[in-house]
């Protein structure tokens, strides 16, 4: 036993050292997206590539495999819910997954995705899918090969999904998202048919950037993002990243004539940040101190952005402050503002979509990427399939591939299996919210008083501090007290949208 | 020969990879000084320590030593002025210097300096030299040991000076700085005795930070700092750092009621930055693409800050713009402004000292640290020796150790041998300026028209692009056409200060 404990300590030390490199790499990337001088891109790529090589070398080293192998047969691995059990089991899974990939495949994927993103930018600008097609074909073939190398039981997509949502199964995700779709489509139709049109114009007035930043910072701090352990900066494509146990950085972008983009974007990223800041920092770099899955991560951003941030009571608290800060809102009644920020309408672009139709965008991508990986859809036929699905689900036909099949970076970057985690996050968010309310009492009454601490602390305890001890399916079921389901999201949407649109 | 060339390429590739880590470490440090969240310091130290270890491992690896050893005996090393000759010779010197240090000594120094800086901060705050004394004693002993391990001919201080000013000799530096001191003291006395008192109050009016930043950015860009390849940020202790061949970052700090601090600080750092941006980026990471010495580096910052930035003609060009931007200057005549920014008066704090007395601060430190290393002065007697020298050279007695012997971070960080490079920079700056003028014609006439490109390009060609092909002594002599001397600095100071103070 003493030897096993010493070996476990050695394993942790090894993995923590790798985390020093990973977090340093995260700083290089954060800086690239927020601060990097215009001419410095090429060398930054070289720095990132070198570190990626070192991280990969450490992550696949025989030394690591040997330690994991020995410990996985020890008593320390017996209880998967213990810290040691969690650490050993998750590291073992990751090591095997990484080690199964031939170096040649890893290099080819890196090359294809690097070139893919470059070509995608051009193809999107020129509205030329044909230009993107060859590299996407290569990426799809390599992702199929990757799935094969990793191995799977039911379908190849399972192996890819597992990278982002460990343990999730394609058919289960497909079932719940299909049920969601079936309920969403008539809801969106009803809203389209409603005579009520929220005054969205009020959100497109003048909102000075400095005031937007100050207000976003104020609100994100109020809900619980800790600026002693984080930052807020400006970028093109907002994200949240973690550069150390006490260094979580969120980003946003400002549009001087649109309120929602930065404000709800900041709440969204702050939700991600609150998750990162709620992880157990004593296990930083180890699975016991890492986020569970992308779906759970997204549940936290969506919960704060939509369920809290677009609630009436949230604005009962914040709206007086907003009106003081923004002259454009001085004469706008709270009811109008509330209706406008919850406006629902089918649109072309996923990242600009509202809370309800957003999921339809995701489901389309999820279905299409499954078909690509399972060989049921050729890349050449992708634009046609895309447009058909947009017509079918959202009732709109993209006027160009730039605003259609070419709008997202994910596929060009080899991120296949990533999209469904966005909608899983929406489902989990509603379930977690209801579970929190069942335990804590009327949350909206707290929000109206500016009291967000009880909800945050509940999430800290039941979700954040759990790390990777459970898979997302297990964690979701434990916290929500029920299996993954679309019911609560639909209930939330209906409860909010019915009065607004008088459905 | 082909094998030698292949080996040389392999050496360069190896060293360039180390530079990827060094530049990444520079980003971690830049971020620490400019952006790091309050609570993230501890983990940042761990990241920096890990990278320092990796860099040290690579820099002392037998693989590197073998390549250098073989190449140093090859034809490629024959001509030290060739690129290959320069690269091999400088790498060989650095490798031997690094390899001579026992790992134990390196670790003890790292520990002592880390603790030294922490203790120094407290001791300075509490004005308690006794608190700092034990750790400084340890550091001095370790630096003596370091000098012994490296080896020296004349004196131990030579071995330490060589780290910052390769090839420079203590006795030569001491000679030229003593001649400088002998001429400076009566000049400062004469100024103290002058009835003229420049209206320094005008620099202590209201200068809004945003306007200071915009004006500093404008002027630094105008003299040649390229913001496509660099940045300007805010920090406590301004510095310039280089994070890649096209990524040079300068920093400054703003005082809303003092014009000079940020403006001349920005010009100073931009001078460092123009040097970095003028290095041959095709040799990035290799000695042929690295700065020559700290003295030469400082010559570039001082040249732009003082010889250009405090000249009458510089302000003939910039003052109308300054008056437009700053209401505080609207009614101040150029003559008054010019006199105020060139005000000379003995003061306690080095970093706030004027162009003339600054060197007296340096000479005091240079003399004291030599005495500490040569065993002629005990750390216990340092405060008394410090105060005696301030009384003697500047005619002022520090009222406390916080404003006296405890004011600088350098000794607590083990940076012994660093101080004289500041004054060497001032000497070189005057010599280079005169050499440039001899070649290019009346520089002030160009500045008055806002034309700084000829001077910058001359510096680019004759100093920056030379990398480390020559030592600073050799480069100085070649560029200035004469040996290192204090004459031109004294001449510059007298030419400027005589009319201002009617000496």
pLDDT of residue A2: 57
**Contact between B444 and B311 (Cβ < 8 Å):** yes
Greater confidence, A194 or B115? A194
Helical (H) or strand (E) element with B240: strand B240-244
Best to test chain A binding among B18, B23, B27, B281 (most A CBs inside 10 Å):
B27
In chain B, the largest separation of any two C-alpha atoms, in whole Å, equals: 73
Question: Measuring CA to CA, which residue among B241, B273, B236, B275 is closest to residue B252?
Answer: B236
Which parts of A60-102 fold into alpha helices (H)? 62-72, 83-100
**Contact between B253 and B297 (Cβ < 8 Å):** no
> Residue B371: which residues within 8 A CB-CB, separation 6 or more?
B377, B385
**Contact between A418 and A297 (Cβ < 8 Å):** no
CB of A28 less than 8 A from some CB of B: yes
Q: How many CA atoms lie within 13 A of A480 on its CB side?
A: 24
Q: Is the pLDDT of residue B212 over 70?
A: yes
Q: How far is B448 from chain A (nearest CA, A)?
A: 30
Model confidence, pTM: 0.95
pLDDT of residue A118: 87
Label residue B103 by pLDDT band (50, 70, 90): confident
**Contact between B483 and B253 (Cβ < 8 Å):** no
Segment B344-362 shows an average pLDDT of 96
How far is A83 from B198, CA to CA, in rounded Å? 70
**Contact between A191 and A501 (Cβ < 8 Å):** yes
What's phi and psi for B243, nearest 5 deg?
A: -110, 5
B167: left (phi over 0), alpha (psi -120 to 50) or beta: left
Could you give the residue numbers annotated as active site of B? 269
Q: How far is A243 from chain B (nearest CA, A)?
A: 9
What's phi and psi for B140, nearest 5 deg?
A: -60, -45
> Residue B78: which residues within 8 A CB-CB, separation 6 or more?
B85
Q: Is the pLDDT of residue B1 over 60?
A: no
Helical (H) or strand (E) element with B188: helix B170-193
Beta bridge mates, A250: A232, A240
**Contact between B29 and B48 (Cβ < 8 Å):** yes
Segment B350-356 shows an average pLDDT of 94
Per-residue pLDDT tens digits of chain A, which is 503 residues long: 559 999 999 999 999 999 999 999 999 999 999 999 999 999 999 999 899 999 999 999 999 999 999 999 999 999 988 999 999 999 999 999 999 998 899 889 988 998 898 899 999 999 999 999 999 999 999 999 999 999 999 999 999 999 999 999 999 999 999 999 999 999 999 999 999 999 999 999 999 999 999 999 999 999 999 999 999 999 988 999 999 999 999 999 999 999 999 999 999 999 999 999 999 999 999 999 999 999 999 999 999 999 999 999 999 999 999 999 999 999 999 999 999 999 999 999 999 999 999 999 999 999 999 999 999 999 999 999 999 999 999 999 999 999 999 999 999 999 999 999 999 999 999 999 999 999 999 999 999 999 999 999 999 999 999 999 999 999 999 999 999 999 999 999 999 999 999 99
Segment B358-370 shows an average pLDDT of 98
CB of B50 less than 8 A from some CB of A: yes
Q: DSSP for A199-263, please give it.
A: -GGGGGS---HHHHHHHHHHHHHHHT--GGGEEEEE-SS--EEEEETTEEEEEE--BTTBHHHHH
Q: In chain B, which among 242-281 make CB contacts under 8 A with chain A?
A: 243-247
Segment B92-100 shows an average pLDDT of 94
Best to test chain A binding among B13, B23, B28, B40 (most A CBs inside 10 Å):
B40
The two three-digit tokens of residue A66, written as one number = 């040997």
**Domains of chain B, each with CATH number or no CATH:** 2-152 (no CATH), 170-501 (1.10.1370.30)
In this structure, the number of other CB atoms found within 10 A of the CB of residue A136 comes to 22
Provide the percentage of residues in chain B whose pLDDT is more than 70: 100
**Contact between B428 and B301 (Cβ < 8 Å):** no
| Number of helices and strands in chain B (H, E) | 20, 3
The two three-digit tokens of residue A14, written as one number = 């090894």
Label residue B2 by pLDDT band (50, 70, 90): low
Helical (H) or strand (E) element with B257: none
Angle (CA) B345 B351 B352, round 5°:
35
What residues of chain A lie within 8 A of the CB of B227, using their CB?
37
Q: Measuring CA to CA, how many Å separate B270 from each of A218, A441, B262, B394, B475? A: 35, 59, 12, 30, 22
Angle (CA) A273 A276 A281, round 5°:
140
How big is chain B by its Cα radius of gyration, in Å?
A: 23
What residues of chain B lie within 8 A of the CB of A31, using their CB?
27, 31
CB of B495 less than 8 A from some CB of A: no
How far is B166 from B185, CA to CA, in rounded Å? 29
Of B17, B40, B244, the CB nearest to A246: B40
pLDDT tens-digit map of B173-188: 999 999 999 999 999 9
Bridge-based pairing state of the strands B247-252 and B230-234: parallel
Best to test chain B binding among A18, A25, A27 (most B CBs inside 10 Å):
A27
How far is B20 from B243, CA to CA, in rounded Å? 9
Of A24, A226, A230, the CB nearest to B51: A24
Label residue B118 by pLDDT band (50, 70, 90): confident
B117: left (phi over 0), alpha (psi -120 to 50) or beta: alpha
Residue B442 burial class via C-beta count within 10 angstroms: exposed 0-12, middle 13-18, buried 19 and up: exposed
> What is the DSSP secondary structure assignment for residue A178, as one 8-state letter?
H
Q: How far is B434 from chain A (nearest CA, A)?
A: 33
In this structure, the number of other CB atoms found within 10 A of the CB of residue A456 comes to 20
- Alpha-carbon dihedral angle through residues A429, A431, A433, A437, given to the nearest 10 degrees: 180
**Contact between B294 and B300 (Cβ < 8 Å):** no
- Across chain B, what does the average pLDDT equal? 96
How far is B296 from B276, CA to CA, in rounded Å? 11
Q: How far is CA A351 from the centre of its chain?
A: 12
How far is B223 from B241, CA to CA, in rounded Å? 19
Contact check, Cβ <8 Å, A50/B245: no
pLDDT of residue B195: 97
Segment B384-394 shows an average pLDDT of 96
Contact check, Cβ <8 Å, B244/A27: no
Contact check, Cβ <8 Å, B37/A284: no
> What is the DSSP secondary structure assignment for residue B252, as one 8-state letter?
E
How far is B361 from B177, CA to CA, in rounded Å? 11
How big is chain A by its Cα radius of gyration, in Å?
A: 23
How far is A158 from B166, CA to CA, in rounded Å? 60
């Amino acid at each position: 036993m003493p030897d096993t404990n010493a070996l476990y300590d050695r394993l942790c030390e090894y993995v923590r050292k790798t985390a020093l490199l990973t977090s340093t790499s995260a700083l290089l990337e954060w800086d690239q997206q927020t601060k990097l001088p215009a001419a410095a891109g090429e060398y930054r790529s070289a720095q990132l590539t070198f570190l990626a090589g070192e991280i990969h070398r450490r992550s696949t080293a025989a030394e690591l495999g040997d330690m994991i192998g020995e410990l996985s047969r020890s008593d320390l691995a017996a209880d998967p819910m213990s810290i040691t059990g969690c650490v050993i089991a998750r590291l073992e899974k990751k090591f095997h997954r990484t080690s199964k990939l031939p170096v040649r495949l890893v290099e080819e994927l890196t090359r294809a995705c690097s070139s893919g993103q470059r070509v995608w930018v051009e193809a999107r600008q020129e509205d030329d899918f044909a230009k993107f097609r060859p590299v996407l074909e290569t990426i799809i073939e390599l992702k199929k090969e990757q799935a094969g190398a990793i191995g799977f039981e039911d379908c190849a997509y399972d192996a890819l999904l597992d990278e982002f949502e460990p343990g999730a199964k394609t058919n289960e995700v497909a079932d719940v998202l299909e049920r969601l779709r079936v309920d969403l489509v008539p809801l969106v139709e009803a809203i389209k048919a409603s005579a009520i049109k929220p005054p969205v114009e009020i959100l497109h007035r003048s909102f000075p950037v400095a005031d937007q930043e100050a207000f976003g910072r104020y609100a994100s701090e109020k809900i619980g993002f800790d600026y002693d352990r984080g930052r807020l900066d400006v970028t093109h494509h907002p994200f949240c990243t973690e550069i150390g146990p006490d260094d979580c950085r969120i980003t946003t972008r400002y549009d001087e004539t649109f309120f929602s983009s930065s404000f709800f974007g900041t709440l969204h990223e702050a939700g991600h940040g609150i998750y990162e800041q709620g992880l157990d920092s004593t296990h930083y770099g180890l699975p016991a101190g890492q986020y569970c899955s992308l779906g759970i991560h997204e549940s936290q951003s969506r919960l704060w952005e939509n369920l809290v941030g677009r609630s009436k009571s949230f604005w009962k608290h914040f709206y007086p402050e907003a009106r003081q800060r923004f002259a454009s809102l001085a004469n706008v009644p709270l009811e109008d503002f509330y209706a406008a920020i919850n406006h629902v309408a089918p649109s072309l672009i996923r990242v600009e979509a509202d809370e309800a139709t957003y999921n339809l965008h995701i489901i389309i991508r999820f279905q299409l990427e499954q078909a690509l990986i399972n060989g049921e859809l050729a890349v050449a036929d992708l634009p046609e399939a895309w447009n058909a699905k947009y017509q079918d689900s959202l009732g709109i036909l993209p006027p160009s591939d730039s605003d259609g099949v070419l709008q997202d970076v994910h596929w060009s970057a080899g991120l296949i299996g990533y999209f469904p985690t966005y909608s899983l996050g929406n489902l989990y968010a509603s379930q977690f919210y209801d579970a929190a309310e069942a335990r804590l009492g009327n949350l909206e009454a707290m929000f109206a008083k500016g009291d967000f601490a009880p909800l945050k602390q509940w999430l800290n305890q039941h979700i954040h501090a759990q790390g990777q001890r459970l898979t997302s399916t297990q964690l979701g079921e434990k916290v929500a007290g029920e299996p993954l389901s679309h019911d609560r999201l639909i209930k939330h949407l209906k409860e909010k949208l019915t009065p607004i649109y008088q459905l």
